[in-house]
Amino acid sequence: MAASTDTTAAPSSTLRNASGNILAFFILLLIGVLAFSIRLFSVIKYESVIHEFDPYFNYRVTQFLTKNGVYDFWNWFDDRTWYPLGRVIGGTVYPGLTLTAATMWKALHFLNIPLSVETVCVFTAPVFSAFAAWATYLLTKEVKGVGAGLTAAVLLAMVPSYISRSVAGSYDNEAVAIFALIFTFYLYIKTLNTGSLFYATLNSISYFYMVCSWGGYTFIINLIPMHVLLCIVTSRYSPRLYIAYAPLVVLGTLMAALVPVVGFNAVMTSEHFASFLVFIIIHVVALAYYIKGILSPKMFKVAATLVISVGLVVCCAVVAVLIAVVASSPTKGWSGRSLSLLDPTYASKYIPIIASVSEHQPPTWPSYFMDINVLAFLVPAGIIACFSPLSDASSFVILYIVMSVYFSGVMVRLMLVFAPAACIMSGVALSEAFDAFTRSIKFYAFQTGDTVSASTVSMENNVKEIEKKEESLKKRPSKKNKKKEKENVEKPLKKSQTEKRPLILPVEASVFALFLTVLLAAFYVVHSVWAAAEAYSAPSIVLTSHSRDGLHVFDDFREAYAWLSHNTHVDDKVASWWDYGYQTTAMANRTVIVDNNTWNNTHIATVGTAMSSPEKAAWEIFNSLDVKYVLVVFGGVVGYSSDDINKFLWMVRIGGGVFPHIKEPDYLRDGQYRIDSQATPTMLNSLMYKLSYYRFVETDGGKGYDRVRGTEIGKKYFKLTHFEEVFTTHHWMVRIYKLKPQKNRIRGKTKKSRSKTSSKGPTKTRTITKKNPWH
């Protein structure tokens, strides 16, 4: 259907052209609706809530922003997280998402549409995925025309990888950042095609928005220089390239430095280094081309050898200095996250805190199939299509997909960057395929219907058509730009076009292939809708499970947070593993020690150490941090597998990374992590084990069978000496403990038969403390 709009553009038929445009417009509108509505499964199946962990922080920040304004947000010192260090939110957060949502909220209120901040936040991601689909259309249109653009937009609207991060409620940076990423690429290509300074400026602004939104902006600022370098190396340098690139570096870097979280990083860190290097190179090349224009070929040769010999010396010196400077810094100027991109084993070797995050793991093969489905097979075809003919724009798309395939292989989160590239490529491939098949069918249809028209005529027609298409590709920008004639002359495309013979297939084969292609696309749609409905819509704070006796809803997290907010003092500190930090501050409004913004490894290691220590040592650590309550997530009763016991080894590793007395082998029996009777004493005495399994045997009548680990637990009956259980949720998924206060008296050491004196109930707690008197 997408291809039809293009191929129907018959010669000398402006009417048909216009109707094609209108059709394309409505298709785009429908694509937007599709992109928006496919992401509403979570709201329909669950409710309109913010999902997961980070979105809660963003939601809290947005609330603050709408309440206090931009300046207070910028200067916000949050004393409710990372106690007692606090966090300067304004300077450590990418503000793009929150500013966007707050602006939307303000605009809605200006129009007297009184939506709550939460509603706006929930629906930000679906709205922006519609934008992202349109941006994909624009980008692909620049590369391969309207047909490919529409196909790519449809594919992107429902690519499962992107859906996973942008369902309604998934209020995270990626929701707006993917749109910004694609739109920046579109503007870059647009500038490259037109050579317009206007688009170049827009490109810088779009890049600025991307920098505001997501740390993934480094992908842009490395990919575009790479493409520029590619163009230069393949001698495709043109003034348009210069206009597309130089303003982006200058304006983009200046504006990026305005974002507080980036600041001087925009010029200081190695991630941005490539852009400056290429900036220098493009100037040298521009100068060379300019001098080449002035001098005679002979003179130029002399000058070139002179410049190159001098230039090499200078370059060597500069490179040597740079290497020395970079090498003198401990991490070689790269931040840990970026290093793990280049060397996938880096993080797991040196930085457990990065390696421990699940979204930083390398993806498995099934996850490719899950996330991009049939696109995986269409991408190679798209790459081939992009090579015929190879233009600046298509070379960029090829570079984009090659780089993003690599990065997605390193870190599963970057599948998100890969997905748009895959959509574009598949859109191109599908569009070309439809083009070829329908052309063949039409060819035969014309042949049978009109006996006069020989095959050559329609062949010529087709050639013309294609030529026109190619021409229009380059003419479109020309409307605004006067320079285009010159540039078009430079293009060496003409020759290849005339030589090109359109491919005509037998009609049966075409029909059959068309049918197969449609079937393939249908599979994709079915899979995407399934993924959106079943796989990626769970908000993860509310869990459901289907069993024979119907649907079970586990709302334990909100139960626990509500308990905290109603039953504890507003200034009480709650310690938990950092996963639950954002939720605790946002939903329970209590101060936390560590949260999902894992900026301070030592602090997280302190909590990890406390969790892996025996009770008394843990009590002392927590008491020194003024902690009142400890929250653990435990899934052994209902079989919720991502609980703290399953994350415990990371606590040990991260804690041991800073405090060497915590050693991972102490928690492993023969290299195996187990919690049954074979578990090591260190493991069985650790605070995490005790807080998780305290009174656990009472749930199943003395067996103590852990449904996640599938074993009976090792130590079933024990008492807590320094902590007391204050709340356990309905399904035991969240357990909250309170630190016992220091004892009022210190007992003497006299040991006596206590049978006479301690006979009654109230002495129960005293008998506990008797075993472990502490001072």
Partner 1 sequence: MLLFAICLRRRLTLQCSKPQQNYSVTPKPPTLEPEVETMANFSIATVFIASFSLLLSLTHSFSIENPTDRRILVLLDDLALKSSHSIFFNSLQARGFELDFKLSDDPKIALQRYGQHLYDGLILFAPATERFGGSLDLAAILDFVDSGKDLIVAADENASDLIRSIAAECGVDFDEDPSAVVIDHGSYAVSETEGDHTLIAADDFIRSDVLLGSAKIEAPVLFKGIGHSLNPSNSLVLKVLSASPSAYSANPKSKLSTPPSLSGSSISLVSVVQARNNARVLFSGSLDLFSNKFFKSPVQKAGSSNKYAKSGNQQFVTELSKWVFHERGHLKAVNVKHHRVGETDEPSIYRINDDLEYLVEIYEWSGSNWEPYVADDVQVQFYMMSPYVLKTMSTDKKGLYHASFKVPDVYGVFQFKVEYQRLGYTSLSLAKQIPVRPFRHNEYERFIPTAFPYYGASFSTMAGFFIFSFVYLHSKVYLQ
Binding stretches for partner 1 (CB under 8 A)? 71, 74-75, 77, 79, 83-86, 88, 90, 569, 571, 624-625, 742-750, 752, 754, 756-758, 760, 762-763, 766, 775
> Nearest approach, Cβ of 759 to partner 1 (angstroms)?
8
Q: Cβ distance 572 to 590 under 8 Å?
A: yes
If residue 169 lies in a helix (H) or strand (E), which one and from where to where?
A: none
> Nearest approach, Cβ of 600 to partner 1 (angstroms)?
11
At which residue do the structure tokens 């609980």 appear? 643
Q: What is the distance between the alpha carbons of residues 625 and 84, in angstroms, rounded to a whole number?
A: 7
Q: Cβ distance 674 to 698 under 8 Å?
A: no
Pairing relation of β-strands 734-739 and 627-633? antiparallel
> Nearest approach, Cβ of 108 to partner 1 (angstroms)?
28
Closer CB to partner 1, 616 or 754, in the complex: 754
Q: Cβ distance 430 to 437 under 8 Å?
A: no
Closer CB to partner 1, 95 or 147, in the complex: 95
3-class secondary-structure state, position 573: strand
Closer CB to partner 1, 555 or 572, in the complex: 572
Helices (H), 257-296: 265-268, 273-294
Chain-centre distance of CA 659, in angstroms?
32
Q: What is the distance between the alpha carbons of residues 52 and 642, in angstroms, rounded to a whole number?
A: 13
> Nearest approach, Cβ of 756 to partner 1 (angstroms)?
6
> Nearest approach, Cβ of 745 to partner 1 (angstroms)?
5
Check residue 373 and give left, alpha or beta (phi > 0: left; psi -120 to 50: alpha). Answer: left
Q: What is the distance between the alpha carbons of residues 565 and 561, in angstroms, rounded to a whole number?
A: 6
Closer CB to partner 1, 257 or 513, in the complex: 257
Closer CB to partner 1, 89 or 176, in the complex: 89
Angle between helices 415-449 and 507-530 (to 10 degrees): 150
Check residue 235 and give left, alpha or beta (phi > 0: left; psi -120 to 50: alpha). Answer: left
**CB-side neighbour CA atoms (13 Å) of 271:** 21
> Nearest approach, Cβ of 603 to partner 1 (angstroms)?
10
Q: Cβ distance 261 to 91 under 8 Å?
A: yes
> Nearest approach, Cβ of 576 to partner 1 (angstroms)?
18
Closer CB to partner 1, 88 or 504, in the complex: 88
Residue 17 burial by CB count (10 A; 0-12/13-18/19+): exposed, middle or buried?
middle
> Nearest approach, Cβ of 627 to partner 1 (angstroms)?
13
Closer CB to partner 1, 355 or 592, in the complex: 592
Q: What is the distance between the alpha carbons of residues 654 and 659, in angstroms, rounded to a whole number?
A: 9
Q: Cβ distance 464 to 12 under 8 Å?
A: no
Residue 752 burial by CB count (10 A; 0-12/13-18/19+): exposed, middle or buried?
exposed
Q: What is the distance between the alpha carbons of residues 505 and 155, in angstroms, rounded to a whole number?
A: 26
If residue 544 lies in a helix (H) or strand (E), which one and from where to where?
A: strand 543-547
Q: What is the distance between the alpha carbons of residues 8 and 27, in angstroms, rounded to a whole number?
A: 16
Closer CB to partner 1, 471 or 626, in the complex: 626
Q: How many Cβ atoms sit within 10 Å of the Cβ of residue 2?
A: 24
Closer CB to partner 1, 85 or 308, in the complex: 85
Closer CB to partner 1, 83 or 444, in the complex: 83
> Nearest approach, Cβ of 750 to partner 1 (angstroms)?
4
Closer CB to partner 1, 14 or 744, in the complex: 744
> Nearest approach, Cβ of 572 to partner 1 (angstroms)?
10
> Nearest approach, Cβ of 664 to partner 1 (angstroms)?
26
For the record, the structure tokens of 551 come out as 């649907």
Q: How many Cβ atoms sit within 10 Å of the Cβ of residue 759?
A: 8
Chain-centre distance of CA 384, in angstroms?
28
Closer CB to partner 1, 533 or 625, in the complex: 625
Q: What is the distance between the alpha carbons of residues 339 and 356, in angstroms, rounded to a whole number?
A: 15
Q: What is the distance between the alpha carbons of residues 774 and 620, in angstroms, rounded to a whole number?
A: 11
Which residues touch 235 (CB under 8 Å, ≥6 apart)? Answer: none
Closer CB to partner 1, 482 or 760, in the complex: 760
> Nearest approach, Cβ of 74 to partner 1 (angstroms)?
6
> Nearest approach, Cβ of 260 to partner 1 (angstroms)?
8
> Nearest approach, Cβ of 567 to partner 1 (angstroms)?
17
If residue 238 lies in a helix (H) or strand (E), which one and from where to where?
A: none
At which residue do the structure tokens 């998934």 appear? 170
Closer CB to partner 1, 590 or 709, in the complex: 590
Q: How many Cβ atoms sit within 10 Å of the Cβ of residue 454?
A: 11
Closer CB to partner 1, 364 or 624, in the complex: 624
**DSSP result, 644-669:** HHHHHHHHHHHHHHHSTT--GGGG-B
> Nearest approach, Cβ of 754 to partner 1 (angstroms)?
8
Q: What is the distance between the alpha carbons of residues 426 and 412, in angstroms, rounded to a whole number?
A: 21
Closer CB to partner 1, 249 or 397, in the complex: 249
| Of the candidates 390, 397, 389, the residue with the CA atom closest to the CA atom of residue 188 | 397
For the record, the structure tokens of 173 come out as 């940076």
Closer CB to partner 1, 293 or 710, in the complex: 293
Q: How many Cβ atoms sit within 10 Å of the Cβ of residue 748?
A: 7
Closer CB to partner 1, 64 or 368, in the complex: 64
Chain-centre distance of CA 653, in angstroms?
26
Q: What is the distance between the alpha carbons of residues 447 and 452, in angstroms, rounded to a whole number?
A: 8
> Nearest approach, Cβ of 766 to partner 1 (angstroms)?
8
> Nearest approach, Cβ of 93 to partner 1 (angstroms)?
14
